[in-house]
Amino acid sequence: MSSLSNRHAIQIEQLRKSYSAQTTGDVHYIIKDVNLVIKGGEFFVLLGPSGCGKSTLLNMIAGFVSKSGGNLKVDNVEVDRPGRDRAVVFQQADSSLFPWLTVQENVEFGLRMKKTPKAERKVISDRFIQLVGLSGHEKKFPKELSGGMKQRVQLARVLANDPAILLMDEPFGALDAMTRRTMQKELVNIWRETHKTVIFVTHDIQEALLLGERIGIMSVGPSSNITDIYDNTLPFPRDVASPEFYSLYNRIQGHFEE
């Protein structure tokens, strides 16, 4: 019998992504020889400076970007394409929402594709619209929503499809500080309720510490790698003013000052 921690695990060995420079043909590595094991149900944060290759690695796990070498397995199966077990939440909701569909229709879109019966679709969309705090806005169109609300719709739509693995690419990066904090709290609640495997990309140390059980530090590119992994066992909800939080923050910040 497989344990919860082995289901939806991600194993990455010697993973590489390279490209050839158009003018010279020289091979450059975006990421090189990344090794990482993420347990099923874990909340893992990928933290690193802009341009180090976080999105590239996340999109490789999603199956959107092909690898140039190494192994990348989800549930012990090599990833070579996107799958229903994985879903990505992007920084900008605008490009992923359908402007001609209402909030509810957007959230139900994947379910409709799967031919889920209408009544069941409604139960599921109601649940996730409520979970992200958008009850009462079901009939609105994306253009009637604020940036934060659109981001919530994107999250509700991804959750309605019930992927085992949530891949989040700076999903709150464009939000104002207050909305961002609310969304971070909601995400932690959703993760604790649904036991999904979450990989969350950010360049914000405080966000990484508020969310992650483990935080992988990516080095500056090219040939970027995960150089260190920090365990964060602080209890939820995390208190940014606690001495433990401050101490871990300083240790991690030290990486980026060297």
Binding site for ligand ATP (CB under 6 A): 19, 30, 48, 50-56, 203, 221
Whose Cβ is closer to ligand ATP: residue 56's or residue 68's? 56
Whose Cβ is closer to ligand ATP: residue 22's or residue 233's? 22
Q: How far is the CB of 167 from ligand ATP (least distance, A)?
A: 12
CA pair distance 201, 187, nearest whole angstrom: 14
Measured torsion, CA atoms of residues 41, 46, 47, 50, in degrees rounded to the nearest 10 = -150
β-pairing verdict for 10-20 and 27-38: antiparallel
Q: How far is the CB of 32 from ligand ATP (least distance, A)?
A: 12
- Specify the residue for token string 């976080």: 54
CA pair distance 100, 37, nearest whole angstrom: 40
Q: How far is the CB of 64 from ligand ATP (least distance, A)?
A: 11
Whose Cβ is closer to ligand ATP: residue 55's or residue 161's? 55
What are the residues whose beta carbons fall under 8 Å from the beta carbon of 237, sequence distance 6 or more? 185, 188
Q: How far is the CB of 58 from ligand ATP (least distance, A)?
A: 8
Q: How far is the CB of 55 from ligand ATP (least distance, A)?
A: 3
Instruction: Output phi, psi for 244, to 5 deg.
Output: -65, -40
Q: How far is the CB of 129 from ligand ATP (least distance, A)?
A: 29
Whose Cβ is closer to ligand ATP: residue 108's or residue 169's? 169
Whose Cβ is closer to ligand ATP: residue 28's or residue 185's? 28
Whose Cβ is closer to ligand ATP: residue 21's or residue 241's? 21
CA pair distance 44, 54, nearest whole angstrom: 13
Q: How far is the CB of 166 from ligand ATP (least distance, A)?
A: 17
Q: What is the largest CA-CA distance in the chain?
A: 58
Whose Cβ is closer to ligand ATP: residue 121's or residue 203's? 203
Query: What's 144's DSSP letter?
Result: G
CA pair distance 231, 214, nearest whole angstrom: 5
For the chain, strand residue ranges (E) read 10-20, 27-38, 43-47, 69-74, 77-78, 86-89, 165-169, 197-202, 214-218, 226-231
CA pair distance 136, 145, nearest whole angstrom: 12
